[in-house]
Structure 1
Amino acid sequence: MNEETSTLRSLANIILRAVDSMERAYAQAALPLPSLDKSFEDLYDVYTFDPGDPAEALTQDPRVVAASKNLVAACAQISATVSNPRRIAINHAHGQLNEMGIDIKLKDQIFCLSACHIFREVSPGVFANNRISSTLDKGKPSRELSSNRETRFVGSSGIAALVEHAAEMGGKSAQYLAQSLRTPGLLPFNLGYDTKESFFEWMERPESIYHVNRFAVAMQGTTAMEPEDLNVFRGFKWSALPYASVIVDVGGGIGHVSLAVAKKYPHLRVVNQDFASPIEISKAHWKECFPDHLDKQMVDFHVHDFFNPQPVRNAAVFLLRQILHDWPDDKAVVILKNLSEAAQQETQLVVIEKVVPFASTQNPEDSKACTIRGAKQPVAEAPLLPNWGAAAADIYPYDLMHTFHGGIERTAQGFYELFAKGGWKLIEIHQSAGTQMSHLVGVPA
């Protein structure tokens, strides 16, 4: 048996073990495995995704999470190994084209998506939702969606808003990526939208209100993609903060993360900071979701630009969720310095972001970050790629934030160096199975 055949057999064995593990978990819970397409009495019935369904909830069981990662990684690696390499290259190019929506008719997009198991073709040229496409449902009647465009995403899970934001603004900006490399000082966003303003400055225009509302809900969608307890609570110990400790949600948008923390630990005060438009949305969001905290005056709303000096001087925690990845190092350092200069000795910095893993075996001796508690990342079994390959690949396209603001996703070493330049010492990284988000905790240097 040659080496390549042996690799295929090893990958196949990983798949079989993962299937056994997943089936065992669902059998023990007496629940059916999630199906891409339900069996409908009426062929034209639509699938409605329900994250509260016990079978869906079980997808977050650690055994199922581990099995799923191995399945996705191994299946993709086998596919890449045995497929025609020319076809793979062309299909990836077509995939990017489809995501950007360039010169592709809606009908052709639906055909393409159904071939990729998004939507189902119930009869020739007739399509219906399946488990994947139903996650884009905004939960509103079409009449309401068409009559009130500015608020069409408000009240939804945020997934549809995130998809539209990425496809429209990200796709349009990405078309100018190559040109921007030949145009110093201008990002793809600037070229695509014919402006010299930054993305956030452009979003402050009155005519950008639709994009502002969509972006605010889209940021909620980034949380909805992962279980709340994994994303927010399996990391930094919010419960250990004393009564009336102040959490400053820096660039918090509608404040959905700090709101989740406050609802679970109502003894904590919150200051939500952002530009004027999202702050107005935030006030309404908190009033709807947690009016008791407003009545008790345990939450404040500040219009604040984090590139300016931080006005709050009694913070127990400065919270930055998916903020630093929007900016290159020089600007991210400014944000961190403004916080460190306002910090007290006991103030902590909590950064919730993705820590980029390597697709090669890492040598811990090459990184100072290896000395940080919790920094060591899990590694997949061979012959899978150490970072689980396709099962974790969606972390890398987030580098397309460059098209908006010149931002970057960072490795543990990248965060270690960034914290130091910004006046903070990285002391711990919390990583949890089932989520790509990590909690990076720092203290004043």
Structure 2
Amino acid sequence: MRSINISTLRRLANIINEAIDEIEGVYAKGNIPLPSLDTPFHPADPAEALLQNPTVEGATMNIMAAAAQLSATVASPMVSALNASQAFHISACLRVASEVNVVEVLRDAGPAGLHAKEIAAPSKTDPLLLARILRLLAIHNIFREVTPNVFANNRISSVLDKGKPWKVLFDNRDERFTGTSGFAALLECITDFNMKSVAMLADTILDPKEGELAFDRAYGTTGSFFDWTHRPENVYQMRRFDIAMRGAAALESTDAIHKGFKWSGLSTGSVLVDVGGGTGHISLAIAQKNPGLRVVVQDLEDTIKDSKIYWKENFPSHVESRMVDFQVHNFHTPQPILNAAVFMLRYIVHDWSDERAVNILRHLRDAAQPTTKLVVIDTILVSAARVPDSGEEAIPGLARPSAPAPLLPNWGVAKSEVYCYDLTMHCLYGGVERTLEHFMEVFAKGGWKIVHVHHPEGSGMSHIVGVPS
């Protein structure tokens, strides 16, 4: 047993060393240094672009997975369990840092940083407590403690920058996220709504109440998360959430939509229905490259108003030629479009339980022609168990690469984001991120059969293609 464990350590170390060689090779070829953890993030830096190189991305995943597994292998299991049980402190401290605009206060100080007293002054917070909060983040490589109680931004903390002077942020709290990228708003929502709701997960499992979600238990409310955010007293929370969702959407390049399902294979005049499409920014990107497609953007009334404005600003010719229609529609009700070539559901199905998702798909099936395609764009979870390869692929795209042994086949913590989202969807909305097998069950119950799965390069989402069954 001992020799096997030592062998495992060496194999994990080798994976890390080989990945470092690959990353250094790419950067050496570009004659660019790797971004430093100690310096703020600059998205326009050519060194950041190289991190999107497929070789670097793959090597990075291997390092993240192997380093975590190596630590878990050698560390005391009690220490590992205790650290995991207290990870909520990191979330809580991140929210504090964002709420009191620490990154923006530190921005002008540069690498020399500021003493906690100066950082705390604009928000009138306790400097000793703030120093303790920032120190916890610094030991997790978020912020940098330059000298005792003196802190500076680093590469990770700087992504919380809202891009505004700190005085403006304090003077007008209600508008602190307006005009920002939305990333800081996203992190605040995660460390606020999500964390408080997930804290009630065990309570709702041990003491379940009909129709009650963890969010309901945490906030002492009934109805949906969206009902709560639309209350008059929660205007700020709603505004922050809307900006956060735009920030989340911006993390996924619209170019990825062209790397999966072949939209160019649809004939001129084919109807693409963007079901629950929001502003329709994805169907607009599809139509720009395939102008012969007719598009119908469907969503609720307030969103459709925004969609009309968005298309007029970004693709006026399609609006003027009447190649795009805007339709107020609730996808939980019968689908009115009966001549669709494609029904597209992007980041919709994961919001809903199996029962509600099946209902959505059944409405689309009832309106489909025999040739209609269903394209569900969502994240596909992969099991942490290593399954033997049968050598057969019944559905194109069904098989996916797996991490090299002894890593977890799904790359473990390197891919943990979507597994966290899965529980967030459950606690806030009753939704679920699904494995492909789970998607197959939901499709079948909704009257569809999966015939192809695309995994676009550089995207965290897959295109699951179905036909009427």
* Pairwise CA distance, 1:210: 3.6
Structure 1 match to 2:190: 166
Structure 2 match to 1:61: 53
Q: 2:421 aligns with which of 394, 398, 418?
A: 398
Structure 1 counterpart SS, 2:453: strand
Distance 1:293 1:132, change over 3 A: farther
Superposition RMSD in Å: 2.7
* Pairwise CA distance, 1:112: 1.8
Q: RCO (CA 8 Å, sep 6+): is it higher in 1 or 2?
A: 1
Structure 1 match to 2:121: none
| TM-superposition CA deviations, 1:319-344 (whole Å, max 9, x none) | 21221111111111011111111222
Looking at structure 1, the residues matched to 264 and 164 of structure 2 have their Cα atoms a distance apart, in angstroms, of: 37
Structure 1 match to 2:111: none
Matching residue's letter, 2:414: A
| TM-superposition CA deviations, 1:115-173 (whole Å, max 9, x none) | 11122233433333322222222333445545665554344333222212222111121
Structure 1 match to 2:216: 190
Distance 1:269 1:113, change over 3 A: farther
Higher mean alpha-carbon deviation, 248-257 vs 58-67, is at: 248-257
Map residues 262-273 of structure 1 onto 2, 5 A cutoff.
Answer: 262-273=287-298
Looking at structure 1, the residues matched to 169 and 315 of structure 2 have their Cα atoms a distance apart, in angstroms, of: 26
Higher mean alpha-carbon deviation, 376-385 vs 118-127, is at: 118-127
Structure 2 match to 1:119: 143
Superposition TM-score, scaled by structure 1 size: 0.88
Higher mean alpha-carbon deviation, 383-392 vs 90-99, is at: 90-99
Looking at structure 2, the residues matched to 386 and 180 of structure 1 have their Cα atoms a distance apart, in angstroms, of: 31
Structure 2 match to 1:202: 228
Looking at structure 1, the residues matched to 313 and 146 of structure 2 have their Cα atoms a distance apart, in angstroms, of: 40
Looking at structure 2, the residues matched to 206 and 109 of structure 1 have their Cα atoms a distance apart, in angstroms, of: 33
Q: Is the 8 A contact 1:357 1:411 kept in 2?
A: yes
Q: Is the 8 A contact 1:357 1:377 kept in 2?
A: no
Higher mean alpha-carbon deviation, 120-129 vs 420-429, is at: 120-129
Map residues 41-190 of structure 1 onto 2, 5 A cutoff.
Answer: 47-50=40-43, 52-100=44-92, 107-142=131-166, 144-146=168-170, 152-181=176-205, 182-185=207-210, 186-190=212-216
Q: 2:341 aligns with which of 306, 310, 316?
A: 316
Q: Is the 8 A contact 1:204 1:277 kept in 2?
A: no
Structure 2 match to 1:336: 361
Structure 1 match to 2:22: 21
Matching residue's letter, 2:151: F
Matching residue's letter, 1:19: I
Matching residue's letter, 1:426: I
Looking at structure 2, the residues matched to 228 and 196 of structure 1 have their Cα atoms a distance apart, in angstroms, of: 36
Map residues 2-21 of structure 1 onto 2, 5 A cutoff.
Answer: 2-21=3-22
Looking at structure 2, the residues matched to 372 and 269 of structure 1 have their Cα atoms a distance apart, in angstroms, of: 29
Q: 1:274 aligns with which of 299, 304, 307?
A: 299
Q: Are 1:356 and 2:366 an aligned pair?
A: no
Structure 1 match to 2:397: 374
Structure 2 match to 1:229: 255
| TM-superposition CA deviations, 1:145-204 (whole Å, max 9, x none) | 456655543443332222122221111212222222213221111122222212233344
Looking at structure 1, the residues matched to 151 and 365 of structure 2 have their Cα atoms a distance apart, in angstroms, of: 54
Looking at structure 1, the residues matched to 322 and 433 of structure 2 have their Cα atoms a distance apart, in angstroms, of: 36
* Pairwise CA distance, 1:380: 1.2
Distance 1:309 1:431, change over 3 A: same
Structure 2 match to 1:383: 406
Q: Is the 8 A contact 1:220 1:256 kept in 2?
A: no
Q: Is the 8 A contact 1:212 1:277 kept in 2?
A: no
* Pairwise CA distance, 1:418: 0.7
Structure 1 counterpart SS, 2:33: coil
Matching residue's letter, 2:148: P
Structure 2 match to 1:43: none
* Pairwise CA distance, 1:96: 2.2
Q: Is the 8 A contact 1:254 1:281 kept in 2?
A: yes
Looking at structure 2, the residues matched to 200 and 370 of structure 1 have their Cα atoms a distance apart, in angstroms, of: 41
Structure 1 match to 2:271: 246
Superposition TM-score, scaled by structure 2 size: 0.84
Structure 1 counterpart SS, 2:284: helix
Structure 1 counterpart SS, 2:381: coil
Looking at structure 2, the residues matched to 432 and 103 of structure 1 have their Cα atoms a distance apart, in angstroms, of: 33
Looking at structure 2, the residues matched to 266 and 284 of structure 1 have their Cα atoms a distance apart, in angstroms, of: 19
Structure 2 match to 1:44: none
Matching residue's letter, 1:332: A
Q: Is the 8 A contact 2:449 2:467 kept in 1?
A: yes
Distance 1:217 1:253, change over 3 A: farther
Matching residue's letter, 1:229: D
Q: 1:256 aligns with which of 276, 281, 292?
A: 281
Structure 1 match to 2:350: 325
Looking at structure 1, the residues matched to 293 and 379 of structure 2 have their Cα atoms a distance apart, in angstroms, of: 26
Q: Is the 8 A contact 1:150 1:209 kept in 2?
A: no
Q: Is the 8 A contact 2:90 2:137 kept in 1?
A: no
| TM-superposition CA deviations, 1:38-93 (whole Å, max 9, x none) | 3xxxxxxxx2431x432212212111111111111111111111112211111112
Structure 1 match to 2:115: none
Distance 1:196 1:391, change over 3 A: same
Q: Are 1:440 and 2:464 an aligned pair?
A: yes
Q: Is there any run of 5+ residues in structure 2 with no aligned partner, and where?
A: 97-128
Mark the structure with the bigger radius of gyration: 2
Q: Is the 8 A contact 2:278 2:299 kept in 1?
A: yes
Distance 1:3 1:221, change over 3 A: same
Structure 2 counterpart SS, 1:313: coil
Matching residue's letter, 2:365: S
* Pairwise CA distance, 1:364: 6.0
Looking at structure 2, the residues matched to 280 and 190 of structure 1 have their Cα atoms a distance apart, in angstroms, of: 30
Structure 2 match to 1:424: 448
Structure 1 match to 2:114: none
Looking at structure 1, the residues matched to 143 and 403 of structure 2 have their Cα atoms a distance apart, in angstroms, of: 31
Q: Is there any run of 5+ residues in structure 1 with no aligned partner, and where?
A: 39-46
Looking at structure 1, the residues matched to 94 and 163 of structure 2 have their Cα atoms a distance apart, in angstroms, of: 28
